[in-house]
Amino acid sequence: MSDAKNHRKPYSIGHVAKVTGVAISTLRSWEGLGLLAPHKSEGGHRSFSASDVERVHRIDLLRRVDGQSLSSIRRMLEDSDNAAADPVDEPDADRRTVEYSQIGGQVRAMRKEAGLSLRDLSEKTNINVSHLSMFERGAAFLSPARLNAIAEVFQRSLGELLGGTSSEHLPIVRKGSGRMVSTFGPGVSIEQVTVAERLMDVEVWTIEQGRESDGFYAHEGEELIYLLEGELEIALSGREPVTLTPGDSAYFSSRIDHRWKNVGGGKAVALWVNTDTARLASMQFEKRERRLEIGSSQGTGLGEGALNIELSTDAQTFRVIETHTAGHPTRILVEPLEGLDGTTVKEKQRSFEARYDHLRPLLLQEPRGHAGSFGLVPVPSQTADFGAFFITSYGYPDLCGHAVFGYAKALAALGRLKSKTSFSIEMPGATVRVEIKPDNGEIDVILPQSSVVTPEFAVAVDGRDARLQIVDSGILYAIAEAADLGLDLQSSSADEILVKARLVRDAITALNRADELAFDSVLVCQPLASGQERMFLAIDAHRFDRSPGVTAVAARMAQYVAQGRFEPGAVLQAESIFGGRLMGRVTSVVETSDGRLAVVPKISGRAHLNGISTLIVEPDDPMKRGFLV
């Protein structure tokens, strides 16, 4: 059973679920049955050791591969625990070798869990179906490059696929006491010094003469190779191969395609070190190391010479990536959150609302944000390439176009897309297709259908008759013409536009037709002499979109199609009062079940990176929970 010492262990339940592929709810169920014994803090937060992670792997394999019942598994584990309490009197009793057959069984379990056939996995990895079948049965080996391809399918690192060590963070590892892995077939053996426990994975590789990686492969993180014995050829994509001899080293980004081969006359032995960026996101600060890096040892600036700042023991930190789309910001949360249960992104959003709603004002309201701040929480998706839901200073939108652009920009910058230029994103309200043009960074998003909901109607606004129409583009807009409101849409008139938009909202409410005229926001449009449109999206009395509005552009095109002014292929160039630009194109026009014309819109534009930030929440800060003005 896992160690029950009264101190926090290194891994959260969310990290364990990611590494093992076992749902958080299942982990809690196993705990209730006595199969697992994680550490629990006074606040009820569970934490796990590396040996607990290995135990989860073992339970999962026994259940899915061997078909054992949970009661049988419990008896087997109890027998194993009792045997471990009475160690065998052999010098290498603690030195366990992980055979390739175990990895094959684990891959089979993950494949079944993901609902993939052998042919599906073959198509995703370019590995022959028969070879995959033999590997899963323990009758064949796979090279590092091919194992890495399998790991990527299940969004794991190669180290996670092979499993990790269990040192309980002891600082000393004696020679020959590491965990042995013999997964790559005869001629390659790995002694894991420390893997899946800390920021660095450290291994000693022994590679016999002529053995190689079987082609190029890439993965997340960085790696360092220091050759201890023999000769090892290293090749990075786009560069000539280089042969390392004892004392030579290679240090490079693991995202670069790379391969290796023993070109010497005997075995090659190398110290191999990898970092894991995903693990960095999940690691907790220790009390004695509550520091954030802010500068270098050179220079005379405020942060230079002081490499970090000290934080109080109970301070919280949240790392975010900041982007903007045509001027409107998106704050993307980097920190992983445990306990976001659910099959769909919508269910994960509800889980966040139930467990983490206190983070929403903390992250987005004053003093770390403002009324217009917009947040995005990345989550896995079972139906799309990526998933995300949205948080704002005022609630939980189901659909947001500008945030999708920002998310796509961040995914590309982080290397998550690899060679993909087209991918899908599941949101609570819809799944959209995204395309990125590598030559100029322009992003295209295919949105759900947009259609006019009501005929045109008029209301009195400040002594003027204003023509209005309700359009549904995933968000319900009341579209008004700037001229009808006596407005010239300029950056200097933002406050005046907000006042008129509020009057429009009040006038619609006064009609007492709430069911018929339901809407979310007011969209004010002004056609320009150039043929473009200037647009102002008033979210409510105080908040407005700094961009023209991605779904707002789609709504305007739907209105023009209903009026007979736009046909398939028509283009709308839109700009905000601040100069941010988006382009909409009518890809097709379809008829809804009730006879209305609906547009399938494609919105094009660009998103930009603003920065990477670490938000700090000090426990004694009286404003830490956030506020709005």
**pLDDT value of residue 99:** 47
**pLDDT value of residue 309:** 72
**pLDDT value of residue 165:** 52
**Distance between CA atoms of 61 and 66, rounded to whole angstroms?**
7
**Distance between CA atoms of 19 and 159, rounded to whole angstroms?**
10
The mean-pLDDT minimum among 272-281, 325-334, 429-438, 488-497 falls in: 272-281
**pLDDT value of residue 286:** 37
For 370-386, how does the pLDDT look when each residue is reduced to its tens digit (9 = 90+)?
888 999 999 999 999 99
Contact 605, 325 (CB under 8 A): yes
**Distance between CA atoms of 332 and 322, rounded to whole angstroms?**
6
Cis bond upstream, residue 91 (ω within 30): no
For 193-237, how does the pLDDT look when each residue is reduced to its tens digit (9 = 90+)?
776 556 678 889 999 898 888 788 887 778 999 999 999 999 998
pLDDT class for 287, splitting at 50, 70, 90? very low
Mean pLDDT of 572-579: 97
Amino acid identity, position 181: V
**pLDDT value of residue 471:** 96
Top pLDDT among 41 and 87 is at 41
The mean-pLDDT minimum among 42-51, 163-172, 325-334, 396-405 falls in: 163-172
Mean pLDDT of 241-261: 92
**pLDDT value of residue 560:** 97
**Distance between CA atoms of 328 and 536, rounded to whole angstroms?**
12
Strands 249-253 and 258-261: unpaired
Mean pLDDT of 542-571: 95
pLDDT class for 388, splitting at 50, 70, 90? very high
Top pLDDT among 199 and 579 is at 579
Which is nearest to 355 in space by CA: 380, 326, 322, 377? 377
H helix intervals, 515-567: 550-562
Mean pLDDT of 352-368: 92
Q: Residue 601 pLDDT > 80, yes or no?
A: yes
**pLDDT value of residue 383:** 92
**Distance between CA atoms of 552 and 554, rounded to whole angstroms?**
5
Q: In the numeric block, which tokens belong to residue 451?
A: 């259609």
DSSP 224-252: EEEEEES-EEEEETTS--EEE-TT-EEEE
Contacts 24+ apart (CB under 8 A), 42-47: 45/12, 46/12, 46/13, 47/8, 47/9, 47/10, 47/11, 47/12, 47/13
Q: Residue 550 pLDDT > 80, yes or no?
A: yes
pLDDT class for 170, splitting at 50, 70, 90? low
What percent of the chain is modeled with pLDDT above 70?
Answer: 82
For 482-539, how does the pLDDT look when each residue is reduced to its tens digit (9 = 90+)?
999 999 999 999 999 999 999 999 999 999 888 888 899 999 999 999 999 999 999 8
Whole-number average pLDDT of the chain: 83
**pLDDT value of residue 133:** 85
The mean-pLDDT minimum among 188-202, 360-374, 378-392, 558-572 falls in: 188-202
Top pLDDT among 491 and 279 is at 491
**pLDDT value of residue 515:** 81
Top pLDDT among 329 and 336 is at 329
**pLDDT value of residue 33:** 81
Q: Residue 562 pLDDT > 50, yes or no?
A: yes
**pLDDT value of residue 447:** 95
Mean pLDDT of 394-408: 94
Mean pLDDT of 97-126: 78
Q: Residue 92 pLDDT > 50, yes or no?
A: no
**pLDDT value of residue 346:** 95
